Structure 1
Amino acid sequence: MAGERPEARSGDPRTAGPARRAADRGRYGRLSRARVLASALELVDREGLSALSMRRLGAELGVEAMALYRYAEGKDALLDGLVEALYLELEERLAGQAEASSWRAELQRVARATYEVCLAHPQAVPLLTTRMLAVPLARRPLAVLRNHERVLTLLTGAGFDDAAVVGLFRAFNSWLIGYVSEELRPMVDNPDEEEPAFRLGLHRMPAHELPVLRGVAAALAERGGTEGLATGLDALLDRLAATG
């Protein structure tokens, strides 16, 4: 009949209400930021950073990728969330231990706990450098800033002036992340090879150009562990504290 409104049809864009939000109840129940970041870290631990995407993480959690944008605005925010997860794990480790009696011993405790977290999640460690280069100080995750505050408070409480505090803070972070990065660098060329020289791929390195490197390659392949970390940090602090 003339003037009669057409019957509304299911799915008709002219009659559809507000778009329904993507469901956020997955195979682990209702999502939370903590659950999303934990699953992202588990995925990276298993398959590396290249495997991480919103779509892949959504599949891991049993939800649409769009549901994740409530907890991370995009890939960069997700990567920053992984950094946050590492520092939250560091806080948990430190909270479960007794504080040291001196500022130097406490720095050693922080360094050792950081090393342990990094070895537990080696695939995520590059983010501790790349995201810190990409994200301004004030926009870093709060857990990262709390760690900065912890170290700066130790150094300030030890009686150093501002210039010395900044120098020691930078040196501490540089040594710690640098040491961990060296420990985690791949060294083995062929893990199935039993002969050490071939296992390390020394036959690929020209002997006449790289005699020293070839000579110490086996030693470089061995991890220094927490003992090497502590020894190097002590030497660094001795030098800087004397000049501070």
Structure 2
Amino acid sequence: MKSVLCSGTHPFDIEVPYKLIKTGKDSSKPLIVYLHGFKQNIARFEDLVDDMFTVDAYHLFIQGPYPIYDRKKQRKVEDWGRAWYLYDGKQDQFLKSLEAASEFIEEIIDKVRKDIDAKSVAIVGYSMGGYLAGYFGLSRPNIVNKLVVIGGRIKTEVFEDADKQYEQLNVLALHGANDKSVDSNPQKRCCDLLSEWGANVKFQTIDSGHRLKPEYVKKIKKWFLSLQNE
């Protein structure tokens, strides 16, 4: 006869890297947090957004906590791609995982802000990181001043019953007109709704697909520079 004496869960800690880069002179400046896409890592994302280093800011790159196993065994573990959350198609699980990742990101932001003079916080997320960036920005409006989502969707439906205090939030949503991975129309509707909630939202499609190309980064940089005094 089999008897289960106990069962439960227990946390398992892993080390997740992050990198803080300063550009420009020592002064009060924005903190820009970068969230990479699925199967990417901070090294890859840093290369993709290299043009952003001409913006006078603190640039914080955080790596997703979930490793994507390299079945070909061609890369070291530290070079594997990463994921930000666990998604099985169930919204309850999705939101639980988004919140766990957001708490993790908030802890790192709080940690680095102790040693820098950050006058504002911006979140830049691409694809999977874009979904997380949107959730982080809307769930923590007291932290985030600027939000950039590329090839993702801001899940406004999660916050329909929340206090909508987004007047201080500037949002740039970029989407490829030929994006076959994430449809631009739902994102456009979410941006329209977020505008109604008080945020300053700019939605723009460009002649591109889902891949993060230099055209996206140029538009992000231009947008940041236009808001450099906010």
Structure 2 length normalisation: TM-score? 0.36
Tell me which protein shows more helix as a share of its residues: 1
Q: Per chain length, whose mean CA-contact separation is higher, i.e. which structure has more relative contact order (CA < 8 Å, sep 6+)?
A: 2
Tell me which protein shows more strand as a share of its residues: 2
